[in-house]
Structure 1
Amino acid sequence: MSIVNDIRTAFSRRDNALNQLLLINVLVFVFLVLTKAVMHLSGTVAYYPNVLRQFELPSDMPSLLRHPWTLLTYAFTHEGPFHILFNLLNLYWFGALIREYLGDRRLVSLYILGALAGATLFLLAFNLIPTLRPYAAAGVPLLGASAAVTAIIMAAATLLPDYTFMLFLLGAVRIKYIAAVVILLSVLAINQGNPGGGIAHIGGALVGFLFVKQLQAGRDLGRPVQAVGDFFVRLVTGRPNLRVTHRSASAAPAAPVVKKGAPTLPGQDEIDLILDKISHSGYESLSKEEKQKLFRASQK
């Protein structure tokens, strides 16, 4: 079937992380919808919660110990069509920015770290805060990509705070304000019947902010995630590790002379002009050189 071939092609490409994340979420959603439909027709829908329990993150520790994989699978699991729609739209919009500026591997790392941070804060809150312990006792679970997506939104806002999106009815809005609204809604959710989701979103937002700040300081928080991913890729594909050899100092070539045209870090005035251009004409109006300058400035 062409659909199967398209999915296989999407996962075979190494520069397709955003579409792969979107596809995993869609495939899990379709699987659960079809499973529930089949169980409903066969009269076994009463057992569907047992199926869902293999994906959602439980709030009580005994259940988590029996289902440790749910620390990640919950972030790819949705039940309602609007829930997955809003998450995937945000993932597509903001993930495209992270992918363009930081690359595919860092996008995946950020998604995974955001999911783990959301899960960790959720579990700590439900098991340590007295007013939330009844939720854990009742077995209230967590599911959805919101924590991971919030990490990506906050990372994009931290990296490019003045980048603008054209929003329906609102016009051009800078993403730093979008991120602020997302945080505010997460805090409101804690008081309005969804404390688990709100707390998980805040955990993801913290990771998104720290991820970019540490990256700008020269530290990549995503390297452990990338190392684990590389290990499993080698395990599945059988590819050997790449070995890097270092020459001795005596055999090392002379240091290359820096060319006059070598790229230098742009000044603040240049960056301000570029950001003003984005706010007036959008990111697509930038030249390739301006995009590169903005990227180099984000690494300072």
Structure 2
Amino acid sequence: MQLLDTITDKFSSANVVMKMIYITAFIFLISLLLNTVSFFFNSHGNFLINWFALSPNLDSFLSKPWTILSYGFLHDGFFHIIFNLLVLYYFGTLFLDYFNSKTFLNYYFLGILVGGIVFLLSYNFLPALKSRNALLVGASAGVMSILIGLATLIPNYAMRFQWIGFIKLKHVALFVVILDILQIPMGNAGGHLAHLGGALTGFLLTQYFPEKKSQKSKNVFFSRKNKENNLKTVYKSKKPVNSTFKKSEDQQKIDHILDKISKSGYEALSKEEKQFLFDFGKK
């Protein structure tokens, strides 16, 4: 009981990203157990896969319409789920710096939904895929929606990768999209098309539905060249200021911080600099 209470407390106190990771990981463990039982007892396959994976067969889909979303909680292997959950953890956590939990769920599940629709359409209307049979599983479309939606909002946000250095978020997003496109002819075409459907969802939500944004503060931590457009409301004075006057001490510190972010990324800031930027954004 103590272990159960600890798990329950851990889940209750987690943010929405971690809750999604916990749920997906738990379902994966159940699926592994069912696969083991199926192997040793020659049963009729994995119950979760049979009832919750998305089939391109329209009759099968119409009899199990929930699979248009439930497939996003299933994964077909250890590396599949580890990759998705690691990406979801990193970019989902960053996503919550600019959006609230409700918006995260909107992006995530709409990405999965659109990815599933693209999968169904591709296998039923593309001649090259019509004769093939496949099942769609995995959270990749939802993860892509989060990643591309975030990259659309803060394209110049610099991230540090070990052994590589700093890479802008827009370049990471471009890389994963191109990678999916290149892999379409190599197999699992419907899955890669579903990923692209999730990516398109994230882009459109950020680009054309700005009212869905719910940023925690006015701070924008990505590029000096975006300072004028994105931070002008942060340190805009309520009274006219003569342009010949010297910049205030706070404004000089903001400029210094933005220069540092532009060169090395937000993570390069000291704890004091991060706190100053956060406090200044609330003024």
Into which bin does the TM-score normalised by the smaller protein fall? 0.7 to 0.9
Instruction: Give the secondary-structure state (helix, strand or coil) at the position aligned to 2:167.
Output: strand
CA shift for structure 1 position 72: 1.0
CA shift for structure 1 position 163: 1.5
CA shift for structure 1 position 164: 2.0
List per-residue Cα deviations over 1:11-32 (Å, max 9, x = no partner): 434x610111101110110000
Which residue in the other structure is 2:265 paired with?
A: 282
Return the alpha-carbon distance in structure 1 between the equivalents of residues 2 and 37 of structure 2.
24
Return the alpha-carbon distance in structure 1 between the equivalents of residues 129 and 235 of structure 2.
49
**One-letter amino acid of the structure 2 residue matched with residue 35 of structure 1:** L
Which residue in the other structure is 2:39 paired with?
A: 40
Q: Which stretch shows the higher mean deviation, 195-204 or 164-173?
A: 164-173
Q: Which stretch shows the higher mean deviation, 22-31 or 51-60?
A: 51-60
Unaligned runs of 5+ in 1: 222-262
**One-letter amino acid of the structure 2 residue matched with residue 33 of structure 1:** L
Which residue in the other structure is 1:102 paired with?
A: 99
Does 2:194 correspond to 1:194?
no
CA shift for structure 1 position 162: 1.5
Instruction: Give the secondary-structure state (helix, strand or coil) at the position aligned to 1:53.
Output: helix
Return the alpha-carbon distance in structure 2 between the equivalents of residues 274 and 113 of structure 1.
36
- Work out whether residues 34 and 46 of structure 2, in 8 Å CA contact, stay in contact via their aligned partners in 1: no
CA shift for structure 1 position 159: 1.5
Identical-pair percentage: 36
Does 2:136 correspond to 1:142?
yes
Going from structure 1 to structure 2, the CA distance change for 1:36 and 1:101 (only over 3 Å counts) comes to same
Going from structure 1 to structure 2, the CA distance change for 1:74 and 1:2 (only over 3 Å counts) comes to farther
Matches within 5 A, 1:205-284: 205-216=199-210, 218-219=211-212, 265-266=233-234, 276-284=259-267
Unaligned runs of 5+ in 2: 215-230, 237-250
**One-letter amino acid of the structure 2 residue matched with residue 282 of structure 1:** G
Which residue in the other structure is 2:178 paired with?
A: 184
CA shift for structure 1 position 134: 1.3
- Work out whether residues 29 and 78 of structure 1, in 8 Å CA contact, stay in contact via their aligned partners in 2: yes
Return the alpha-carbon distance in structure 2 between the equivalents of residues 82 and 141 of structure 1.
18
Does 2:56 correspond to 1:59?
yes
Which residue in the other structure is 2:152 paired with?
A: 158
CA shift for structure 1 position 125: 1.4
Instruction: Give the secondary-structure state (helix, strand or coil) at the position aligned to 1:165.
Output: strand
**One-letter amino acid of the structure 1 residue matched with residue 164 of structure 2:** L
List per-residue Cα deviations over 1:130-150 (Å, max 9, x = no partner): 222112xx3x11100111001
CA shift for structure 1 position 50: 4.7
CA shift for structure 1 position 9: 2.3
Q: Aligned match of 2:122 in 125, 133, 149?
A: 125
- CA RMSD for the aligned pairs? 2.9
Instruction: Give the secondary-structure state (helix, strand or coil) at the position aligned to 1:173.
Output: strand
Count of aligned pairs: 248
Which residue in the other structure is 1:203 paired with?
A: 197
Return the alpha-carbon distance in structure 2 between the equivalents of residues 203 and 273 of structure 1.
40
* TM-score normalised by structure 2 residue count: 0.78
- Work out whether residues 166 and 264 of structure 2, in 8 Å CA contact, stay in contact via their aligned partners in 1: no
Return the alpha-carbon distance in structure 2 between the equivalents of residues 184 and 272 of structure 1.
35
List per-residue Cα deviations over 1:118-175 (Å, max 9, x = no partner): 111111111111222112xx3x111001110011110111111111222232121111
- Work out whether residues 115 and 198 of structure 2, in 8 Å CA contact, stay in contact via their aligned partners in 1: yes
Instruction: Give the secondary-structure state (helix, strand or coil) at the position aligned to 2:166.
Output: strand
Return the alpha-carbon distance in structure 2 between the equivalents of residues 19 and 188 of structure 1.
31
- Work out whether residues 158 and 264 of structure 2, in 8 Å CA contact, stay in contact via their aligned partners in 1: no
Q: Aligned match of 1:76 in 50, 73, 92?
A: 73
* TM-score normalised by structure 1 residue count: 0.74
Instruction: Give the secondary-structure state (helix, strand or coil) at the position aligned to 1:162.
Output: coil
- Work out whether residues 90 and 149 of structure 1, in 8 Å CA contact, stay in contact via their aligned partners in 2: yes
